[in-house]
Amino acid sequence: MTPIFVALDTQDVHRAAAIARDVSGVAAGVKLGLEFFCANGDEGVIRIAEHGTQVFLDLKLHDIPNTVEKAVHALAHLQPAILTVHAAGGRAMMAAAKAAAPPQTKVVGVTVLTSLDQADLSSIGVEGSPESQVERLAALAREAGLDGIVCSGAEVAAVRASWPDGFLVVPGVRPASFDAGDQKRIVTPHEALSDGASALVVGRPITQAVNPRRAIMDIAASLEQTPA
């Protein structure tokens, strides 16, 4: 079993189910985000889970603590393996999310989206580098009792050093030969894992492949290779 969660960024439940079936037993699970959830809701999540794969529910909840707590309660019956909230929602919000989650669900705080760079942060009033913002929010998430965070591969080594037992999710991962797309702070799967990632999120390099199962197996093989 690899540490890879396959991002099923689609509204098409039939296509998502087909990929979930293809990667079952090879991937750690599949990641379902806002696009899928808004189109298919609870029933879509349940259908994907029927293929025996863990579900990473990436909804990035961000609201006042009471609202997030109730939202997590409403999602609890889906039994997600991982659930995301925005760390920028603050300590109280994150603590409320964790308290409301099922015991087996890892609640992780999204720090700085991998589509943002320093210029983007500056434009919304966040001073300093993405690295410093990630480290600040990671410390807050840890204080709030979350299981870990989501950060780019550029920051994962620093967070791992300060949070040895944290569950660190690295999205925006791309094999060296694949186009970066809309991601700005990316690394290869091998780099992310070597720097301390607990789980990797890979989307298009797998879902756009002719054979998704073969694609994930190729990425898994690259994780075992020693760089020259």
Residues 6+ apart with CB under 8 A from 192: 153, 156, 170, 173, 200
CB 153 within 8 A of CB 131: no
Please tell me the predicted confidence (pLDDT) of residue 94: 98
In sequence order, which residues have a C-beta less than 8 Å from that of residue 102 and are 6 or more positions away?
76, 79
Number of separate domains in the chain: 1
**Tokens coding 51:** 């293929």
Neighbours of 116 (CB within 10 A): 18
Q: From the CB of residue 64, how many other CB atoms can be counted at a distance below 10 Å?
A: 12
The predicted-structure confidence for 8-58, as pLDDT tens digits, reads as follows: 999 999 999 999 999 999 999 999 999 999 999 999 999 999 988 999 999
Q: What is the pLDDT of residues 149-194, one digit of tens each?
A: 999 999 999 999 999 999 999 998 877 555 545 455 568 888 899 9
pLDDT at 141 exceeding the cut of 90:
yes
Spatial distance between the Cα atoms of 132 and 89, rounded to a whole number of angstroms = 17
- Enclosing H/E stretch for 132: helix 130-143
CA distance 34 to 159: 26
Q: What pLDDT does residue 1 have? A: 67
Q: Which range, 62-66, 127-131, 186-190, has the best average confidence (pLDDT)?
A: 62-66
Q: Is residue 135 part of a domain?
A: yes
Q: What percent of the chain has pLDDT over 90?
A: 79
- Does residue 60 contact residue 32 with C-beta atoms inside 8 Å? no
Identify the H or E element spanning 109. Answer: strand 106-110
pLDDT at 92 > cutoff 50 = yes
pLDDT recorded at residue 225: 61
For residue 178, what are the domain limits?
4-223
Candidates 84, 140, 74; CA nearest to 107 is 84
100: Cα separation from own chain's centroid: 20
Q: Is 60 a catalytic residue?
A: yes
* pLDDT exceeds cutoff 80 at 82: yes
List the catalytic residue out of 31, 60, 98, 184: 60
The CATH number assigned to the domain holding 174 equals 3.20.20.70
Return the number of other C-beta atoms located less than 10 Å from residue 118's C-beta: 18
Residue 210 located in a structural domain: yes
pLDDT over 50 (residue 201): yes
What is the predicted pLDDT for the residue at 173? 82
- Assign 228 a pLDDT band (cuts: 50, 70, 90): very low
Q: How far apart are CA 126 and CA 120, in angstroms?
A: 9
Q: Which helix (H) or strand (E) holds 7?
A: strand 4-7
Average pLDDT, the chain: 91
Is 162 within a domain?
Answer: yes
Q: Is the pLDDT of residue 3 over 80?
A: yes
**Is the residue at 228 inside a domain?**
no
